[in-house]
Amino acid sequence: MTIFEKIIARQTPAKIIWEDDDAIAFHDVNPQAPVHVLIVPKRVVPRLTEATDSDSALLGKLLLVARDIAKKLDLSSGYRVVINSGPDAGESVPHLHVHLLGKRALAWPPG
């Protein structure tokens, strides 16, 4: 069980800000920006590389949830949405998730 499955099962605490039957969103425990939220599907897809065409609705939903949370948290001057897939991207939890970062200027290219 990954840490995200434990959060979904309420076995590990998290600052949950949104949830429905398909996904959950909570604040990252090690924030890289003043706003750093993770949007996590409840069904385990290890990483984007392993997603299939049948996951298209779920993947689209994660982005629309990011949009809605950005609005709710007033990220009106911009925000970044990130998916780390695999070791070179720095993926550390093998359960697909979308990072939503905002409330500061974010450099490009990323490190």
How far apart CA 82 and CA 21 sit, in angstroms, is: 22
Catalytic residue from among 27, 36, 95, 97: 97
**Residues with Cβ within 8 Å of residue 99, at least 6 apart in sequence:** 28, 32, 36, 37, 38, 80, 81, 82, 83, 84
Alpha helix segments (H runs only) across 1-111: 3-8, 56-72
Question: Using the rule CB under 6 A, is 98 a contact of ligand AMP?
Answer: no
Question: Using the rule CB under 6 A, is 92 a contact of ligand AMP?
Answer: yes
Query: Which residue among 33, 40, 69, 91 contacts ligand AMP (CB under 6 A)?
Result: 91
Question: Using the rule CB under 6 A, is 11 a contact of ligand AMP?
Answer: no
Question: Using the rule CB under 6 A, is 30 a contact of ligand AMP?
Answer: yes
Question: Using the rule CB under 6 A, is 93 a contact of ligand AMP?
Answer: yes
What is the binding site for ligand AMP (CB under 6 A)? 3, 12, 14, 26, 28-30, 38, 84, 90-93
Show which residues are catalytic: 97
